[in-house]
Amino acid sequence: RCLKGGYECLGYEDSDSRAKVHQRDPDAPVASQVPPISTSDPARLARSETLDTVLEATQTVDLDAGELGPSILKAALLYRMSRTTPSTTNNCIVTDSSEDFNCSWPQDQIQSTIYSRSPIRPCFGTNSGVRPVSNDLSRVIEALCQSIPPIVDAREMMRKDHFENIIHEYNLMRACYWLMIPSPAIIDSLTAQLRGSKRIIWTMYWGAKLFQALAQNPQTCGSAVQVCIGWINKLEHNFTVDSHRNPPLTDVADCLKVQLELAHLNFAVVDSVLGYNLLQKALPRFLQIVAVDSNLYMELPNGSLAVSFPRALSASRYEIRRFAIFDAAVALVLGVPPLVEYGYDGECDPESHGLEWIHGIPVALLEVIAQVTSWRAGSKVPLDDWEALERRVLAWKPAIPATVPTLETASVPRAAVQESWRHVALIYIYMGLCGVASDDSRVQESVHRMAQLGATVADIPISIHMLMSCVVAGLAARLEKHRVLVYNMLLSFKGAQVWLFQGPQLGQVLYHLWHGVGAGGASVTWDDYVQS
């Protein structure tokens, strides 16, 4: 009866409880602010019997490695980022009084999706203007569930040809988003580290299928995310436990690989808070691996130990490098302290790092960014002063490793991405370390340059590497044209077109900043961004 009458079915027999369903025209006039997140009843989590069978049959045991205890940081972050009911005096979105400023904004395009682990909340609110999931969408998700192979084929999964087919399929889907083409030696090295782990194979297989579904039909995002939350929880529980009080180092490394891959899926598809939770859970295993390799830590003048950030970036184990990258990137974007006390004893060799083709951050600039974060966190390790960091950034020159094949058509966008990171580091030094406001002439010069660089890559896949550059340029931007450019780029970083964070969520953070402290182009500080 609901379908015949054109109503949204809410599961009630009373027809008065139903609301007429209309599809919003993307070109129609929009409201003056982002709609609040729905506080409707939690949706039931769809489960795949096939996946349940796989997980229950997989050999898993209890974990005694321990989980991070509760912290004020975690509690505050979860509270501030998972609230769904804004108050009248401290609303998440503060609307600017200038209609001229608001008229340029495609506010209804942003879909901020905040989830809690329990209960599961719907992806979109009833007021968001998005149609309910259709039967066709349900069939897509069901097909996704059925695509997970049964456990009886586990030995087949370990065969070299089958494993490489999975990796090849995943690489084909993500290749257009790489900053550069990796050398065969790098691919072979990564493949060799992953081949022996059943757990990471299953995790990557699931990740490949999820991104494939999002790439084929971005409208599946809402339903796919709800299913994804449950699956990630089950995968994390079943694939990262070990009954041994002192498990072999290979098992610890396997579990860390899985946790980082699942954290990436959470950051990219579900929610930044859940991704940060999984990154916190991965910390004990990261430290276990570091503890057995004296090359990865350093002794400080006071006798305590710290993880060497440059050596972590060039570690032989892929998962160590990946954790350090995630920790530095999350601290920059979310404004949280790093999970690890890092020391800075030299510089990392880009050749030995070997992962810049994935994340797009020049390692020399990543080290500078990590030092600024350590300054802000009150680290006790010896750190360079702001002038020394500034000199390093200004003297840095982009270089493509000799082992990486180059394409002439990709050289200009790649150079734009790398150059944008120079200005990310400069703005972070000036605003994050020196404490200047966004109206500083050096900051505005970098914002103007980043806007030019962003415009050159705005319509190509490689633009996903500009996400964090957009955030930093956006928080410092004062001109409306710069803010609109950044906002529109962030809205495009969703579905399969993501690197680590979802652009729309960060776009809402900037929208709050611009219509609050920064209303009308007013200057802001880095702490204002952290508060937003």
Task: Please tell me the predicted confidence (pLDDT) of residue 180.
Answer: 60
Split into its structural domains, the chain has a count of: 3
Which strands make up the sheet holding 297-299, listed edge to edge? 297-299, 305-308, 342-343
Domain of 327?
A: 293-404
177 and 255 in a single domain? The answer is yes
381 and 476 in a single domain? The answer is no
333 and 400 in a single domain? The answer is yes
In a domain, 96, yes or no: no
Instruction: Please say which residue of 271, 288, 305 terminates a domain.
Output: 288
Query: Helical H runs in 46-89?
Result: 49-57, 72-82
Q: Are 428 and 474 in contact (CB under 8 A)?
A: no
Task: Please tell me the predicted confidence (pLDDT) of residue 248.
Answer: 87
451 and 525 in a single domain? The answer is yes
Model pTM score: 0.66
pLDDT band at 142 (very low <50, low <70, confident <90, very high): very low
In a domain, 100, yes or no: no
In this model, does residue 371 exceed pLDDT 60? yes
374 and 459 in a single domain? The answer is no
In this model, does residue 385 exceed pLDDT 90? yes
Q: How far is 104 from 265, CA to CA, in rounded Å? A: 32
Burial, 29: exposed, middle or buried (Cβ in 10 Å; 0-12, 13-18, 19+)? exposed
Token pair, residue 510, equals 């900037």
506 and 438 in a single domain? The answer is yes
In a domain, 21, yes or no: no
148 and 188 in a single domain? The answer is yes
pLDDT band at 316 (very low <50, low <70, confident <90, very high): confident
- Tell me what the mean pLDDT of segment 190-209 comes to: 70
Task: Please tell me the predicted confidence (pLDDT) of residue 250.
Answer: 86
Q: At what angle do helices 135-146 and 221-239 cross, to 10 degrees?
A: 20
Percent of the chain exceeding pLDDT 70 equals: 53
pLDDT band at 60 (very low <50, low <70, confident <90, very high): very low
In a domain, 238, yes or no: yes
390-420 residues labelled b (16+ CB within 10 A) or e (exposed) = bebbeebeeebbeebeeeeebeebbebbbbb
241 and 353 in a single domain? The answer is no
Task: Please tell me the predicted confidence (pLDDT) of residue 382.
Answer: 92
In a domain, 517, yes or no: yes
Picking from 69-78, 293-302, 309-318, 359-368, which range would have the lowest pLDDT averaged per residue? 69-78
Query: What does the pLDDT look like over 100-134, one tens digit per residue?
Result: 334 444 443 333 333 333 333 333 333 333 333 33
176 and 317 in a single domain? The answer is no
Task: Please tell me the predicted confidence (pLDDT) of residue 126.
Answer: 34
pLDDT band at 268 (very low <50, low <70, confident <90, very high): confident
pLDDT band at 267 (very low <50, low <70, confident <90, very high): confident
Query: What does the pLDDT look like over 150-181, one tens digit per residue?
Result: 433 455 545 556 656 666 666 666 555 565 66
In a domain, 213, yes or no: yes
What one-character DSSP code corresponds to residue 240? S
Query: What does the pLDDT look like over 9-36, one tens digit per residue?
Result: 544 344 444 444 344 444 443 333 333 3
Q: How far is 425 from 415, CA to CA, in rounded Å? A: 16
400 and 410 in a single domain? The answer is no
Write out 145-189 in H/E/C secondary structure. HHCCCCHHHHHHHCCHHHHHHHHHHHHHHHHHHCCCCCCHHHHHH
Percent of the chain exceeding pLDDT 90 equals: 33
68 and 196 in a single domain? The answer is yes
In a domain, 129, yes or no: no
Instruction: Please say which residue of 356, 376, 404 terminates a domain.
Output: 404
pLDDT band at 238 (very low <50, low <70, confident <90, very high): confident
Task: Please tell me the predicted confidence (pLDDT) of residue 341.
Answer: 96
Instruction: Please say which residue of 288, 321, 346 terminates a domain.
Output: 288
Task: Please tell me the predicted confidence (pLDDT) of residue 284.
Answer: 94
Query: What does the pLDDT look like over 508-518, one tens digit per residue?
Result: 999 999 999 99
Q: Which candidate, 150, 160, 144, places its Cα nearest to that of 202?
A: 150
In a domain, 12, yes or no: no
* Mean pLDDT comparison of 68-72, 227-231, 232-236, highest-scoring range: 232-236
307 and 340 in a single domain? The answer is yes
Q: How far is 54 from 366, CA to CA, in rounded Å? A: 39
